[in-house]
A and B are shown apart, each in its own frame.
Chain A
Amino acid sequence: MTFNPASFAAQVAALLIVLGALHKPLGIYMARVFEGKTSSRPERLFYRLAGIDAGTDQTWSVYLRSVLAFSAVSILAVFGLQRLQGVLPGSGSLPGVDPWIAMNTAISFVTNTNWQTYVPEATVGIFVQMCLLAVQNFLSAAVGVVVAVALIRGIARTRTQRLGNFWVDLARTSFRLLLPLAFVAAVVMVLGGVVQNFWPTDVTNQASGVSQIIPGGPVASQEAIKILGTNGGGYFNANSAHPFENPNALISIFEVFLILLIPSALPYAFGRMVGDQRQGYTVAAVMGTLWLASVSLMGWAVAAGQGTATAAAGGLGEGFEQRFGPVPSAIFATSTTLTSTGAVNVAHDSLPPLAGGVAMVNMMLGEVAPGGTGSGLYGLLILSIISVFIAGLMVGRTPEYLGKKIGPTEMKLAAMYILVTPTLVLALAGITVLLPEAMVNAPATGPHQFSEVLYAFTSGANNNGSAFGGITTSGPYLSVMMGLAMLLGRFLPIVLVLALAGSLARQGKVPASAGTVPTHGPLFGGLLLGVTVIMTALSYFPALALGPLAEGLLK
């Protein structure tokens, strides 16, 4: 399989053009959804049924309590109903899901990670897929978006305790934004060959005598939101490499487009909501630059095709689908790890070592280019606050961000946010490599074995969900450790972001002065880019050196 540079350049350019054209209309639409004052008739019915008083405006702590209560209830419901699968209808003859796997899966889908320690074909039936997992694909994506919206309101509002109503934000994001987009995407996918039925089909080839049971299921409806909501949990074990999830190269690039669609339009909504469009453009430009740099690096690393087994095969092939080959695989692998998606159309474990390394670095950047739905934007806004702080140190002035003073409270929250994921990744991976009983679950040898463990915890703590699939995490120890990584990696940052939003909302606006560092334009964009990359490099370089760099540079 050869790497076609013309195809690569055409697809990268097409993505940038289409997303560039759509980010403004979609951004305007999203801002309207978030700032809307009226509810439609079905929404009012929904609020009445759910017992929501749509008129209340919550303080940050109540908003946070709602996020946590909703997520806790979701985890318990998804866990409990998986355990009851054997007695529930719509699951064929499948028994209740193993408790460790059910626990890991419940956390995984509620945290927008979609790490899959289970083999879907053998573990979960239509009921669990459609009514539990796909529903969390909507709701966990919406939770990410509403937390970002609360932070934007914290920046935009002055002298208030109020950040909005979590339940209303969640319902609007789910029903007005995600549902219509997912519906259109699902119909396109069906037209492209993605399955959407409720039964398997028995086939027999009379000439060769082969009989097969071709699987069915509500795949397109789940695939659409899995991709659009940057979730990534596949209906099938092979995820977006499975022909029924991703039947051809056109659908593959369409899926990449859907992955990037909402995260790349959120900066425009941000600019509109804070009343300064230049802020949104700067954030979007940083995201775009990082994505372009990463996809180029990934393309190069895949095309280089290092590896002794790859050389023995005469080129790339292991883990690749013939209908895709290296170009769609490289573009997909970059986009899925620079967001919190984690869907894969190529086996990441079999990628050339440095390409696997690029995938890890993408997640280690905090998934901010353009990042998960909502989580990418709030991640980059935190990094913007760190950047104005560093710029403030250089010029000797109190740092401000969009008219809000970045004082000790704000900086402590931002700094803790930055520390959460590296701490989780390095501590949990470090503990795991010391336990021989755990390491037997990563059957590779040498640096690649370390890479499998590092990749797993990087993916878990950053709520990505892709894997170096050689590792098996269904046993109690790794189920629990990965569950912890996903849970803390999702909710500690959310606690800090909402606390920060509350603290910013209380302040009045400081008028810009000669000493204010402008947070738009190429100068600040460059600073933000530098801070993002340097933070990641400082945190993770030693770990990367032991894994993908060692494997890629020594052989």
Chain B
Amino acid sequence: MNTLTGYLRQAGTALRFLLFATLVLGVAYPLAVFGIGQLIAPYQANGSILKDSSGAPAASALIVQAAANDSGVQDPRWFHARPSAVKWDPASSSASNLGPNDQKLLDAVTTNRSEVAAAEGVGAAAVPPDAVTASGSGLDPDISPAYAQLQIARVAAANGLSTDAVASLVQQHTSSGLAAFLGQPSVNVTALNLAVAAAARPSQPAQSK
């Protein structure tokens, strides 16, 4: 009996502790971070949204944006993103979670390799690993510089731009410095494609932020 009332008293304290701790940790704390974020870094806090020439939100610099048809074939006019386990839809996020010796993964990689080689008009051996493998999030906005190089000729031709002009855009959207040293040099396809679109219609330059 004594133990039972002891437990009940403890449970009462626990419930009140949880309630008032929730007001501090679950309400006040996230609201404080929200307030500071909106004040000092609204661009980042709201999802790093890139705007197009008309000032309308066009994409998030951190999230992949792929123009693909229902069967997952990406539009030849733009730089292609890596394969995605969630079909590039930010409503969800996932890896394939297939093991390194999985037959399904082996088949997918082999298919992807021949498709990329055909799309870029290069030999299968020239296709880099990131072009044929799905990312951890399914929303990876980046590709390797090698994969970007493969795509320059196609994108330049499709948009009526010189390969030099497109190569220079790729250069501008390749990460460098500390982030590239800690991770690896990467090309942001989402921002790059907006820049290509702006260059193809020079009267309306894209503006970031």
Contacts and interface: CB of A to CB of B under 8 A. Distances in A.
Interface residues of A, number: 122
B46 A201 contact: yes
A252 B44 contact: no
Nearest to B125: A314
B57 A350 contact: no
B208 interface: no
B100 A138 contact: no
Contacts of A214: 47, 49, 60, 63, 90
Contact of A179 (B24, B129, B132, B142): B24
A77 B18 contact: yes
B130 A1 contact: yes
Interface string A198-232: 10011111111110111110101110100000000
Interface stretch (A187-195, A285-293, A372-380, A509-517): A187-195
Given A50-B13, A197-B46, A321-B136, A349 B129 contact: no
A86 interface: no
Given A134-B30, A208-B197, A220-B33, A197 B38 contact: yes
B151 interface: no
Contacts of B98: 309, 318, 349-350, 444, 470
Interface stretch (A23-31, A235-243, A404-412): A235-243
B140 A174 contact: no
Contacts of A323: 140, 142, 175, 179, 183-184, 186
Contacts of B54: 206
A242 B139 contact: yes
B88 to A, nearest CB: 8
B167 interface: no
B131 to A, nearest CB: 8
Interface in B138-186: 138-144, 175, 178-184, 186
Contact of A134 (B13, B18, B26, B52): B26
Contacts of A212: 59-60, 63, 65, 89-90
B202 interface: no
Interface string B96-113: 111111110110011001
B9 to A, nearest CB: 9
A317 B15 CA distance: 47
Given A221-B29, A249-B182, A318 B22 contact: no
Contacts of A51: 12-13, 16
Contacts of A65: 6-7, 10
Contacts, number: 377
A435 interface: no
Contacts of A131: 22, 26-27
B147 to A, nearest CB: 9
A187 B37 contact: yes
B183 A252 contact: yes
Contacts of A207: 52, 193-194, 197, 200-201
Contacts of B44: 190-195
A138 B26 CA distance: 9
A192 B92 CA distance: 22
Interface string A325-340: 1011000000000000
Interface string B80-94: 001000000111111
A413 interface: no
A238 B138 contact: yes
Most B CB atoms within 10 A — which of A65, A132, A205? A205
Interface string A302-324: 00001111101111111111111
Given A7-B182, A131-B22, A197 B135 contact: no
Interface stretch (A66-74, A149-157, A524-532): A66-74
A197 B17 contact: no
B10 A238 contact: no
B97 A350 contact: yes
A541 interface: no
Given A214-B49, A222-B30, A236-B93, A321 B99 contact: no
A237 B94 contact: yes
A47 to B, nearest CB: 9
B33 A318 contact: no
Interface in A323-366: 323-325, 327-328, 344-347, 349-353
Given A207-B197, A252-B183, A313-B109, A470 B97 contact: yes
Contact of A204 (B58, B60, B91, B182): B58
Contacts of A237: 92-94
B182 A250 contact: yes
A431 interface: no
A451 B98 CA distance: 12
| Residue among A50, A134, A224 with the highest chain B CB neighbour number at 10 A | A50
Contacts of B135: 241, 319-322
A215 B130 contact: no
A463 B73 CA distance: 41
Interface in B1-59: 6-7, 10-18, 20-22, 24-27, 29-30, 32-34, 36-38, 40-41, 44-49, 52, 54, 56-59
A-B interface, 6 closest residue pairs, ranked by CB to CB distance from nearest: A307-B100, A249-B183, A317-B133, A241-B136, A207-B197, A347-B95
Given A72-B11, A208-B193, 19 more contacts: A69-B7, A171-B17, A175-B24, A187-B37, A197-B34, A197-B47, A207-B200, A209-B67, A213-B91, A249-B180, A250-B178, A252-B183, A309-B106, A310-B100, A317-B82, A320-B133, A350-B98, A444-B102, A469-B94
27 contacts: A4-B181, A66-B13, A74-B18, A135-B22, A135-B25, A190-B41, A196-B33, A201-B60, A204-B56, A205-B197, A214-B60, A222-B30, A224-B33, A241-B136, A241-B137, A250-B179, A308-B101, A309-B106, A314-B132, A321-B135, A322-B140, A323-B179, A349-B99, A350-B96, A444-B99, A444-B102, A469-B95
